[in-house]
Structure 1
Amino acid sequence: MKNVLVIGFSTRNAICSGCRAGYNMYAIDAFCDQDMLRCAADARRLVPEGRFDSKLIDPSVLMEAIESFGVDFDAIIPASGFETLELPGSRYPVLQNNLAALEKVTDKSRFAELLGSMDMPHPQTYSYSELDSASFPLMVKPACAGGGIFNRVVHSQEELDNYILRLQSDQMHLEIDDMVFQQYMSGMPASVSLISTPDRACTLAVNEQLIGVPWLTRLPFAYCGNVTPLLTPYANQMKNIAEELITEFGLIGSSGVDFLITDDGPVPLEVNARFQGSMDTVELATGANIFEEHMQAFEGHILQERLTEPVYRQYAARAVMYAEQRTRITEQAMDAIDRKQTADIPRTGDIIGENEPVTSVISTGHTRKNVMGEIEQSVMFIRQRLNVE
């Protein structure tokens, strides 16, 4: 198996990992970042009108893009935003989890019900019609969208109503039925990265999640990257919960479970049955090639070393830097980005909208303090050289 197509909102980490593993990688995504293009044999940029939602994309448009490569693909892999991809009539095998299982884990309302049925701790989750029995503050979030950019804490009915109106008038055009409302819980965001076959799940790493970091974004709950490893007394408990969940759903390949570590212990929040944003830091911290292990898992194989506890060689961090204002990527900005260890690299002339990601900054080292210090310095260096449009 050599020719592999990845379809996702952002495919860079999977494409580059697959390239390092020796595959001929092809991509369809929304960004076509420079570093992805350097790793890909070929790529197509998919820019749908309105919000980026795979369910709104006509399958015939995807099929046309797939056939335009002129390549006989050995496999198609759905990535971020395309987990439940359906390609009726496709002549290529799609390495994909069971759609019924995916629908259970991608819908936050259904997933909360499943956690309750498994007697696992979870934030109480409501639909809009059930809010009479809810207490503020509440976390408001899209039922199926990721990234945290639309997540907000509301403290009153008035604040909730005002935020819903904003969402409905925004570019996303989210409706009440697209949202879930959860009991607000405070704690440290974390995740567990796993690889699995239908009957066994193994933990690759426990990660810290960077969420709403003020010097990276103005959005309070936006995903801003990861630090691997997260050394916590709850690591074994999180590992056991994550492996139980992945096995329960029979998921295959690379998956992640998001947690909130509260004063009462870790609370699972959601499952991501796809390559995760932590892929860079897990690979750098452990030496794994997650793409190769994903492919092997669909053949029913897990590396022998995965049957033991995760082994970390170093700390690794990835920080996603968001634009504070509408920004043009000038030659000066590109020079600054190229001088630092970066990923998700834009092109000269690109326009980055307010609160949209500009680039990712990477660092490795022997301590968390060192890697985060280096990343903060790099982010400040790049930000000072960005041009407001």
Structure 2
Amino acid sequence: MKNILVIGFSTRNIICSGNRAGYNMYAIDAFCDHDMLECARAAIKLDIGEGFHAENIEISDLCGIIDSFGIEFDAIIPASGFETISFPKNYPILCNDHDIMKEVTDKSRFARLLSSLNLPHPQTYSLSEIENINSPIMVKPACSGGGILNRVLYDWNDLQSYLDSLNRMHIQLTEKDLVFQDYLQGIPASVSVISTEDRASAVAINEQLIGIPWLTGLPFAYCGNITPLYTPFSDQMKNIAENLILELGLVGSSGVDFLITENGPVIIEVNARFQGSLDTVELSTGLNLFEAHMQAFEGKLPEEPRNREYAARAIIYGDRNIEVSAHLHEKILEKRSVDVPNTGDIVGPDEPLTSVLSTGNCREEVIREARSSVMFIRECLDLDSPQENGPRTESTYVQNIK
């Protein structure tokens, strides 16, 4: 296999990993970041607009975009947001079974599965049950990731306020599209797993950065990772993750999200795709996750890697409407940045602007370096006049060829 197409909302980390592994990488995504374009042979930018959902895209339109590359792809990999799309059988789709993906990505169905397996997870409630619950409840869309839309309900009246806020964002969800769970507190974490049809290997345990105030104003937004995470529950989490991935029948790169509570680890969800922790896992272990993913579909697992150093990825969210000036673009590139927006890109409030990476000998060192880079970029951002443009949108498909 040589020519690989990746389709997802944000494909930068996958494209760059595949490029480092020696593949000819092509992309369809919503951002076409500067550094992704440097690693891709060609890329097409999707028009996501407001309230876009990948499953609403006409499959004939998506196939038309694929065909427009004029490349005979050896494999097409659905990434973030496109995992459950059902493609025509004549396309070389490299992914897990469609029915499995539907069950894993729907948080309501997944909660029922965990209950049947007697695995620790937050208690999940029906809409009628939460009217009589006095403790705080976490509400989240059943089929959405990233934590951007997650909120805590303290009483029944908060639900309507939450739905109203979704409508203002042009997100059309009803009570039936939501999941209600116990609100638990602890350390957010994930286990990165590579699996074949009959074997699974946990290759890293990662700390998740969630709702970090110097990165975002959103309370539960995913803000990056630190690898490795050492915890007394490491072996337990690895065993749970490996057995769960095998039980689900997943192949390739997957991640199991946990919350490490005072009573032990609790499973939050499974991401049956490349995860946002890809950068830190690769930097910390030296493992190329794209190559490991491809080899897993051939029945091969990598040797268990060792952590060489600590690595962090910190995602900076915009706090207002921002038009990326040439000056800001250059300043972002002065740091160890990834997901770098292009000059002229428009980033809306609470949208990811860019990410910074750091490596070091301990957690404190990588946090300190990452935070220094973030503060530098924020100061540069403040030098630019606030813009009144709307969030990133595209009126048409745009092709960028290296």
TM over 0.5: yes
Question: 2:126 and 2:63 mapped to 1: Cα distance?
Answer: 36
What are structure 2's unaligned runs of at least 5 residues? 388-402
97-106 vs 72-81, which moves further: 97-106
What are structure 1's unaligned runs of at least 5 residues? none
Question: 2:192 and 2:294 mapped to 1: Cα distance?
Answer: 16
Question: 1:35 and 1:331 mapped to 2: Cα distance?
Answer: 15
Question: 2:168 and 2:339 mapped to 1: Cα distance?
Answer: 30
Question: 2:126 and 2:94 mapped to 1: Cα distance?
Answer: 33
Deviations 1:225-249 (A, max 9, x none): 0000001111111101111110000
8 Å Cα contact 1:126/1:134 also seen in 2: no
Deviations 1:33-53 (A, max 9, x none): 010000000000011333231
Shift of 1:133: 4.9
AA of the residue aligned to 2:112 = E
AA of the residue aligned to 2:52 = F
1:141 is the counterpart of 2:140: yes
In structure 2, the residue matched to 1:317 is 312
AA of the residue aligned to 1:262 = T
AA of the residue aligned to 2:217 = R
AA of the residue aligned to 2:186 = G
Question: 1:15 and 1:177 mapped to 2: Cα distance?
Answer: 36
The secondary structure found in structure 1 opposite 2:300 is: coil
Question: 1:265 and 1:311 mapped to 2: Cα distance?
Answer: 24
In structure 2, the residue matched to 1:269 is 268
8 Å Cα contact 1:167/1:175 also seen in 2: no
In structure 1, the residue matched to 2:47 is 47
The secondary structure found in structure 1 opposite 2:179 is: strand
In structure 1, the residue matched to 2:183 is 184
In structure 2, the residue matched to 1:328 is 323
Deviations 1:297-346 (A, max 9, x none): 1111112x23xxx4100000000000111111112211210110000000
164-173 vs 19-28, which moves further: 164-173
Question: 1:121 and 1:205 mapped to 2: Cα distance?
Answer: 20
In structure 1, the residue matched to 2:60 is 60
Deviations 1:120-154 (A, max 9, x none): 11111123233245443000101010010100111
164-173 vs 27-36, which moves further: 164-173
AA of the residue aligned to 1:364 = T
- For 2:338, which of 330, 343, 359 is the aligned residue? 343
AA of the residue aligned to 2:324 = I
Question: 1:135 and 1:59 mapped to 2: Cα distance?
Answer: 44
1:257 is the counterpart of 2:256: yes
AA of the residue aligned to 1:21 = A
The secondary structure found in structure 2 opposite 1:205 is: strand
AA of the residue aligned to 1:324 = D
In structure 2, the residue matched to 1:354 is 349
Question: 2:206 and 2:299 mapped to 1: Cα distance?
Answer: 25
The secondary structure found in structure 2 opposite 1:180 is: strand
TM-score (ref. length: structure 1): 0.97
51-60 vs 18-27, which moves further: 51-60
5 Å matches for 1:166-315?
Answer: 166-303=165-302, 305-306=303-304, 310-315=305-310
In structure 2, the residue matched to 1:121 is 120
1:104 is the counterpart of 2:99: no
Question: 2:194 and 2:28 mapped to 1: Cα distance?
Answer: 24
8 Å Cα contact 1:195/1:255 also seen in 2: yes
Shift of 1:163: 1.2
5 Å matches for 1:348-387?
Answer: 348-386=343-381, 387=384
Deviations 1:23-74 (A, max 9, x none): 0000000000010000000000011333231111110111110000000000
8 Å Cα contact 2:166/2:172 also seen in 1: yes
Q: How many residues align?
A: 384
AA of the residue aligned to 2:70 = G
In structure 1, the residue matched to 2:397 is none
Shift of 1:116: 1.0
The secondary structure found in structure 2 opposite 1:384 is: helix
Question: 1:47 and 1:112 mapped to 2: Cα distance?
Answer: 33
The secondary structure found in structure 2 opposite 1:320 is: strand
AA of the residue aligned to 1:236 = D
Shift of 1:176: 1.6
8 Å Cα contact 1:329/1:348 also seen in 2: yes
AA of the residue aligned to 1:231 = Y
The secondary structure found in structure 1 opposite 2:130 is: helix
TM-score (ref. length: structure 2): 0.93
Question: 2:281 and 2:47 mapped to 1: Cα distance?
Answer: 29
In structure 2, the residue matched to 1:95 is 94
In structure 1, the residue matched to 2:29 is 29
In structure 2, the residue matched to 1:18 is 18
1:81 is the counterpart of 2:81: yes
Question: 1:135 and 1:2 mapped to 2: Cα distance?
Answer: 56
Question: 2:196 and 2:94 mapped to 1: Cα distance?
Answer: 12
Q: Percent identity?
A: 59
AA of the residue aligned to 1:7 = I
8 Å Cα contact 1:76/1:95 also seen in 2: yes
The secondary structure found in structure 2 opposite 1:216 is: coil
Question: 1:367 and 1:123 mapped to 2: Cα distance?
Answer: 31
8 Å Cα contact 2:51/2:169 also seen in 1: no
